Structure 1
Amino acid sequence: MIRVRFAMAPVGNLSIGGARIALANDLVARRGNGRMLLRLDDLDTERSRPAQVDQMMRDLRWLGIDWHCSFRQSERMAVYQAAIDRLIGDRLLYPCFESEQELRAKREFRRKRNQSPIYDRAMLSLTAKQRQDAEAGGKRPHWRLKLSGRTLQWNDLILGARQAVLSAVSDPVLVRSDGSPTPILASVVDDLDFATTDVIRGDDSPGNTAIQIELFEILGGARIPRFGLLGPLHEAAGAMAGRSAGSVLVRGLRHDGVEPCGVAAGLTGITAADGDPLTLNQLAQRLSLADFAACRFDAATMLRINRRVLGRLDFTAVADRLPADATEAFWLAVRGSLDVLKEARGWWDVVNGSIVPPEIEGARDLLLTARSLLPREPWDNTVWANWVAALEPITGLTGDALAAPLRLTLTAEDSGPDLADLLPLIGHSRAAARLAIAAG
């Protein structure tokens, strides 16, 4: 059975980049009739915020992503300690006493001599007396894995043939000086315990993957998952208007009124032949992992799909997200003109609030005439056509030449919902007042 996992660090809100990795794992699980596990990487106690977990889970479920089970790494310390004890007992880890400042100075020293800044393994020559003296002085060691130095080769699910020379990689720190495991050790132990078959992640170096493969071999023998590297998330040219795709938060899109299928369409760029969004099950069958890795986040596609979806939603589906007194008639009038649901607030102000229309140069006579010919109430959706029909022979204007200044005056926008639906909601008194203000 395919088993994948999404690793989530509860240190902030879920970004669109994180959602992309979660979605890729979800699609792999769906396509292979497998299972996805949610791993909460909360070992960094200084940065982890437990309250963030529920919000991130809500964001994932809102996107339609679910998981078979979840766990917190902070609850598995005994399991990690057993792995640490085994590695130390097998003499595969060695203690190191350099401070971060000393290590930084070493790296800088090597760089100045055009040498690779990998760790020099100085602590391998540490004597028992030197270790005893360091510990007596209050120092506590961190522990590094002594790598084999061999060349490792593997086949990445997305990038194809890959290799790394472990002699060109620093021996990784697997245990911090406080005795806690580092993420690389905890991750390998978790993947072994939960029988992960495929590790799909965003960005990583070949050296880091090679370290993990060697650690899998040490701790699990032949149980090594396949790796798939998606690479960094890029946005489609010009789509984000200068914003980095990584800065976009799922929570922000959700609050703005983007529908989940719009986010999926923006991440995959794939829709049905008729332009409708696809379900996650449909995407899983249509999209290979390599195809998904090549996708760029396209906000334009996301908003286009979202407009299409919002335009079909019934009032009951959005009533609790609209302004408190918004009516079904209002929703039916504006729903086809919204890229995101939060734009409905602006149109509610147009029909139910006070807006200041701009002064339109050269339109004073037209606006005063239009005000004088406003039909009496009650109004229905024929009032716009009747009003325009009355104005055309008097003003000599037709089409956009007549409609454009009236729309701008009544809504303070040069485009938007059909005025046949909007004008009855605005009402006679607001329309007359706005025509008078715009006329100056």
Structure 2
Amino acid sequence: MTVTRFAPSPTGYIHIGNLRAALFNWLIARKAGGTFILRFDDTDPERSKEEYVDAIREDLEWLGLTWDREERQSARLDRYAEAADRMRTDGRLYEAFETPTELDLKRKKLLNMGRPPVYDRAALELSEDEKAKLRSERGAGHWRFKLDQERIEWTDGILGDVSIDAASVSDPVLIRGDGQVLYTLASVVDDLEMGITDVVRGSDHVTNTATQIQIMAALGGTPPAFAHHSLLTGPQGEALSKRLGTLSLRDLRAQGIEPMAILSLMARLGSADPVELRAAPEDLIEGFDVGRFGAAPTKFDVADLSPMTARVIAAMPYDLVADEIRAHGVPDDIAPRFWEVVRENVGTRAEIADWWSVFRDGATPVIAEEDRGFVAEALALLPPYPYDSETWGTWTTAVKEATGRKGKSLFMPLRHAITGRTRGPEMADVMPLLQSPPKV
């Protein structure tokens, strides 16, 4: 059975960049009728916050990306300790004591020599007495996984055949001196024990994948199928990382962006397939193939979400927005008609209330100075309230005959005066919905 996971760290909100991993893994599981696990990487007690756990759940629910099971890495520390003990016994985990400053100096020295900044494994040369002395001076050391210095190869679902020379990679730290288990170890143990079959994540994890493949082998496990999606850039190819704080899902939601605008774009952006708007997350499953995505950086423009949001809203049937429309005070007898009239002129749901305000209370008229006399003359010809579907045509015909105006010079000043807007629904549809005569 296909089993995938999304493993966010609850140290912040989900942003548009790491949403892709959640969506791709969800789509793979749902397409195969498998299991999608939400797994919180919360082994860092200082940075992990319960408020972010709740926020991540809320954001995924808002998007409709339901999960079948939830796991917390903080509840599995005994499993990581057991795996670490096995690797110590097998000689694959060793204690090192360099400080961050010492490691930085080593890296700089290697770079100055034109060599890759790979850890020199000096800790392997320490005697037991030397280790004991360092522990007494510095406290417990950190634990590194001893890589087999050979090529690590796999067929990536997006990148194709990947081959990394382990000799060009530092032995990864799996456990910090304070005992904190790091992502590299926790993720490996979880993926093996939870039967994860497919992992999609960002291309910045390629080196992590190489080391994790060896760790899995050291623990006697079989790696899942890996795929590494491209990283997002801004619309001009600029780095997006500094802007991700303003592109959190909750920020986009606060701006009125619809979840299906986000999902429809992210499910195809960077692939060989065109972006097509879908009505529900399940509609994205058909045709989804992670192999259709490219390895090149993918340009993302947040501005693309606004017109897509407008299209999502325009396609919504009345039943989906009925409660929201009633909450704004629209009477039940005209609510369905109100929605039919305004739906294609709503950019975000917040604008539903704006349009009802126009119909209920009348708009603040927008009248150019040169049109004041014309508008006053036109209003004198306006048929008596209440209005019907014929009112607009009857009125503008009478105004045209009386003033000689026609076309935009006739219609636009009247639209401005009635709705206070330069664009909107057909005025023949607007007039019957006005709850009182225009206040001009």
TM-score where L is the length of structure 1:
0.87
Superposition pairs of residues 388-407 of structure 1, within 5 angstroms: 388-407=396-415
Q: Write the deviation string for residues 39-67 of structure 1: whole angstroms up to 9, x where unpaired.
A: 11111222222122233223223323222
| 1:4 aligned residue | 4
Conservation of the 8 A alpha-carbon contact between 1:153 and 1:161: yes
| 1:207 aligned residue | 207
SS in 2 for 1:204: helix
- State percent identity of aligned pairs: 36
Deviates more, 1:355-364 or 1:2-11: 355-364
- Superposed CA RMSD: 2.9
| 1:188 aligned residue | 188
**Any gaps of 5 or more consecutive residues in structure 2?**
none
Q: What one-letter code is carried by the residue in structure 1 that aligns with 2:414?
A: L
| 1:268 aligned residue | 267
| 1:432 aligned residue | 439
Conservation of the 8 A alpha-carbon contact between 1:10 and 1:49: yes
SS in 2 for 1:200: strand
1:290 counterpart = 2:297: no
SS in 2 for 1:286: coil
Of 339, 343, 346, the residue aligned with 1:338 is: 346
SS in 1 for 2:140: coil
TM-superposed deviation, 1:291: 2.2
SS in 1 for 2:154: strand
Conservation of the 8 A alpha-carbon contact between 1:268 and 1:292: no
Conservation of the 8 A alpha-carbon contact between 1:266 and 1:299: no
Superposition pairs of residues 138-157 of structure 1, within 5 angstroms: 138-157=138-157
Give me the whole-angstrom Cα distance separating, in 2, the residues matched to 1:106 and 1:407.
72
1:325 counterpart = 2:329: yes
SS in 1 for 2:71: strand
Residues 343 and 29 of structure 1: CA distance in aligned 2, closer, same or farther (over 3 Å): same
| 1:22 aligned residue | 22
Give me the whole-angstrom Cα distance separating, in 2, the residues matched to 1:258 and 1:66.
20
1:417 counterpart = 2:420: no
Q: Write the deviation string for residues 312-333 of structure 1: whole angstroms up to 9, x where unpaired.
A: 4344422444563234154333
| 1:437 aligned residue | none
Superposition pairs of residues 49-68 of structure 1, within 5 angstroms: 49-68=49-68
Q: Write the deviation string for residues 318-376 of structure 1: whole angstroms up to 9, x where unpaired.
A: 24445632341543331121232122233234334575444425222222212322322
Q: Write the deviation string for residues 374-402 of structure 1: whole angstroms up to 9, x where unpaired.
A: 32212233322222122111121223221
Q: What one-letter code is carried by the residue in structure 1 that aligns with 2:61?
A: R
TM-superposed deviation, 1:136: 1.7
Conservation of the 8 A alpha-carbon contact between 1:2 and 1:35: yes
Superposition pairs of residues 314-393 of structure 1, within 5 angstroms: 314-322=317-325, 324-327=328-331, 328=335, 329-353=337-361, 356-393=364-401
TM-score where L is the length of structure 2:
0.87
Conservation of the 8 A alpha-carbon contact between 1:88 and 1:94: yes
Residues 147 and 325 of structure 1: CA distance in aligned 2, closer, same or farther (over 3 Å): same
Q: What one-letter code is carried by the residue in structure 1 that aligns with 2:289?
A: S
Deviates more, 1:97-106 or 1:76-85: 97-106
Q: Write the deviation string for residues 244-302 of structure 1: whole angstroms up to 9, x where unpaired.
A: 578433334444444433322222359x99x7626544432312112245776576765
Conservation of the 8 A alpha-carbon contact between 2:362 and 2:439: no
Conservation of the 8 A alpha-carbon contact between 2:362 and 2:419: no
Conservation of the 8 A alpha-carbon contact between 1:375 and 1:387: yes
Give me the whole-angstrom Cα distance separating, in 1, the residues matched to 2:234 and 2:426.
33
SS in 2 for 1:217: helix
SS in 1 for 2:439: helix
SS in 1 for 2:11: coil
Conservation of the 8 A alpha-carbon contact between 2:16 and 2:248: yes
